[in-house]
Amino acid sequence: MSAKVYAKAVVSRARMYEVIRAPLITEKTTNGSEHSQVTFKVSADATKPEIKQAVEGLFKVKVKAVNTVTVKGKKKLFKGRPGVRSDWKKAIVSLVEGHKIDVTTGL
């Protein structure tokens, strides 16, 4: 098996703020924080390496792994008319032991 080598593109500070939209604070994500995981709402075009660099750059922590999920928008009624909410992407970021992010404080 050959190892794939990828060129590591440097993400600008402005792009970091575009990639990481907001922390997700739910009962499920709070349980993940016990296992050194933090969940963020991220831009739909963000890649895992970009998300990793953005979290490491903005929060000064080491990231072990990034898992992403595209959440499909629900079909809802808007003033009696059918509509669809937008799809969005979330990232579950696993941190290295000893590192943590306090999402209740701002940047």
Rounded Cα distance between 2 and 14, Å, is 35
- Report residue 8: phi and psi, to 5°: -90, 110
Domains defined along the chain, listed by start? 13-95 (3.30.70.330)
| pLDDT one-digit tens code per residue, 69-95 | 999 999 999 999 999 999 999 999 999
pLDDT of residue 6: 61
Percent of the chain topping pLDDT 70: 91
Distances from the Cα of 83 to the Cα of 43, 44, 47, 70, 87, angstroms: 22, 20, 28, 19, 13
Q: Which tokens go with 49?
A: 């390496």
Q: Are 53 and 68 in contact (CB under 8 A)?
A: no
